[in-house]
Amino acid sequence: MKKLIFVTGGVCSSLGKGIAASSIGALMEARGLSVRMVKIDPYLNVDAGTMSPYQHGEVYVTDDGAETDLDLGNYGRFTNSPLSRANSITTGQVYQAVINKEREGRFLGRTVQVIPHVTDEIKARILAVGKDPDVDITIIEVGGTVGDMESIPFLEAARQLLHEFGRQNAISIHVTLVPAVSGGELKTKPTQHAVKELQEVGIQPDALILRASGHLDEGMRRKIAGFTNVEFEGVISGYDVSHTIYQVPQIYHEQGLDSFILKKMNIESRHADLRPWKEVVRKVVEPKRHVRVGVVGKYMELTDSYKSVWEALYHGGIANDTGVEIIKIDSGRLEGELADIDGVLGTVDGILVPGGFGERGIEGMVRAARWAREHGKPYFGICLGMQIMVIEHARTVLGWAKAHSTEFDPDTACPVVGLLEDQVDVRNYGGTMRLGKSESVLKEGSLIREVYGAEHIWERHRHRYEFNNAYRADFEKSGLGISGLTPDGGLVESCEWPGHPWGLGVQFHPEFKSRPTQASPVFKGFIGACVIANGGKSVPGSAEARLGSTDPREAKAKAKAGEGHAHRA
């Protein structure tokens, strides 16, 4: 029979349920099992697409164009679980589906109620994710905190499934907080109350993950086990990691969580193979070199606003055996006559401008792009970051001082970036952008083609504005390389600075597909270029190895003359 693992949270939010669920998934896969991941968000929004980064962090996009919670990004980085809109369940989706069925008369005139109609919809969506015959375990993370009004229908659905499947086929793992009070004394009472709240909705947790800053000793874990009716072996210390979240699977494994889960669910498996995770952690803890990357954006004060970008940069570092220090630069700091651009950008080895929406900070990003181009500093623009390259080139090289995007200046006389044609009459902003996986064709001899080592690639998109093709000929004549197009040639997917050590912009979001064990090729290449910029040695997959020279400009010239050694990333 299929197996289910429910992961819930108590005491407070932001305890790391997503990392916990992802790490459990990684451990189950290391045991040779096939895993599927589900995230439940109790908010009434249909998806995360219209939510501000200040409200909900980044929006993670799947291949099929779903705009989801950032925890699906963790699932994608930690596990091999395929991710689509089916893996994200929200209250808005559930109630919308139930109401639509009622309007269609599918309930045969019966009164529509939370139980059974809403809970049945939730259960059906959970079970649909793991319906394939090769799936062994579905891991369901219930967002929010036990006790929240919004979570009640989902917890009731979980309770029903736990009862229907039986304790050997469905288990509950509860993540709680063990806080330190004045003097550093740890308190177990919040955890006791959190478990009591879960029990009040009819769910007895099988395991507890206790979040605390430090490791919890055996005595405290036994005390909690006694008060909560949880076996001692199932009480896990989820202490803060010292270097990287990719240590968490090892931390759980060392405490026997994966063995405990398999025993509870009566599953036989091979011994856990954690060698890939150990190698990832080794490269994070003991890298051969270090680089500093300046990320110029507008949500720098929010850790989760560019979560996938941060992780993809670290993945690029892992692929180059290089430690990556991220310098977060609010683009507003680069605006105004008194801005010390040399002082801010001169200390980093590479500059990345990520995606974003809204006018604030745009001029600072344009300045950053110009500084990188003129100073030969590696530059990587993602989505908005590519459009910034286009605006900067139009103003500085072509001399079009008023060049802009119609997103920021609807009345600009020189709209080098404009609204997609199919977006012109859109009035409903939910799920209407260019979203999901799309094909790009890469120009022979271009930097991006060398980075990917392929002519055709598939990456995920999330944008409404696009390079304006009316100006394409002007840009190409003036030196901006148009290096990636859609198969029909209608949309520009990437552009670059010929003759520059490493200057590349892409309209898509490669960060969404990057993993610690398999970095995105373009992030791998960017960090390799940063290594060269700070005088680092040649490493596999870097720009230096790709071009066959320690000097990037000389290597580029040799590559054009056919003398360089071509390395496929």
pLDDT digits (tens, 9 = 90+) for 200-255: 999 999 999 999 999 999 999 999 999 999 999 999 999 999 899 999 999 999 99
Residue burial 445-479, b: 16+ Cβ < 10 Å; e: rest: ebbbbbbbebeebebbbbbbbbbbeebbeebeeee
**What residue ranges in 55-124 does DSSP mark as E strands?**
60-61, 67-68, 88-90
Region for 376 from its dihedrals, namely left if φ exceeds 0, alpha if ψ lies in -120 to 50, beta otherwise: left
Distance of alpha carbon 96 from alpha carbon 119, whole angstroms: 13
User: Rounded to 5 degrees, what are φ and ψ at 272?
Assistant: -65, 130
Is the link from the previous residue into 116 a cis peptide, with omega within 30 of 0?
yes
At 420 the three-state DSSP class reads coil
Reply yes or no on whether the pLDDT at 81 is more than 70.
Answer: yes
User: Rounded to 5 degrees, what are φ and ψ at 350?
Assistant: -165, 160
Q: What is the separation of C-alpha 565 from the centre of its chain, rounded to a whole number of angstroms?
A: 34
DSSP notation for 500-520: SSSEEEESS-GGGG-BTTB--
Mean pLDDT along residues 65-94: 95
Mean pLDDT along residues 17-39: 97
Ranked by mean pLDDT, which of 92-101, 422-431, 557-566 comes out on top? Answer: 92-101
Residue that the structure tokens 């689509």 belong to: 84
For position 354, what pLDDT does the model report? 94
- Of residues 14 and 505, more confidently modeled: 505
Angle, CA of 249, 316 and 441, to the nearest 5°? 120
Band (526; pLDDT cuts 50, 70, 90): very high
| Average confidence score pLDDT of the chain | 90
At 243 the three-state DSSP class reads coil
For position 357, what pLDDT does the model report? 73
CB 392 within 8 A of CB 414: no
Fold of 287-419+428-561: Rossmann fold (3.40.50)
Reply yes or no on whether the pLDDT at 550 is more than 70.
Answer: no
To the nearest whole percent, how much of the chain has pLDDT over 70? 91
Mean pLDDT along residues 162-191: 94
Distance of alpha carbon 173 from alpha carbon 5, whole angstroms: 7
Q: Domain limits of the chain?
A: 3-279, 287-419+428-561
Reply yes or no on whether the pLDDT at 545 is more than 80.
Answer: no
Dihedral in degrees, nearest 10, Cα atoms 509, 513, 514, 516: 160
Reply yes or no on whether the pLDDT at 437 is more than 90.
Answer: yes
Reply yes or no on whether the pLDDT at 426 is more than 60.
Answer: no
Band (421; pLDDT cuts 50, 70, 90): low
Distance of alpha carbon 527 from alpha carbon 321, whole angstroms: 10
What are 361-380's pLDDT values in tens digits? 899 999 999 999 999 999 99
287-419+428-561 has the same fold as 3-279: yes
* The listed CATH number (3.40.50.720, 2.30.130.10, 3.40.50.2000, 3.40.50.300) that belongs to domain 3-279: 3.40.50.300
Distance of alpha carbon 40 from alpha carbon 75, whole angstroms: 13
- Enzyme catalytic residues: 383, 509, 511
**What residue ranges in 406-491 does DSSP mark as E strands?**
414-419, 434-442, 456-463, 465-467, 481-485
Q: Is the pTM of this model over 0.95?
A: no
Q: How many Cβ atoms from other residues are within 10 Å of residue 335's Cβ?
A: 18
Reply yes or no on whether the pLDDT at 431 is more than 60.
Answer: no
CB 350 within 8 A of CB 378: yes
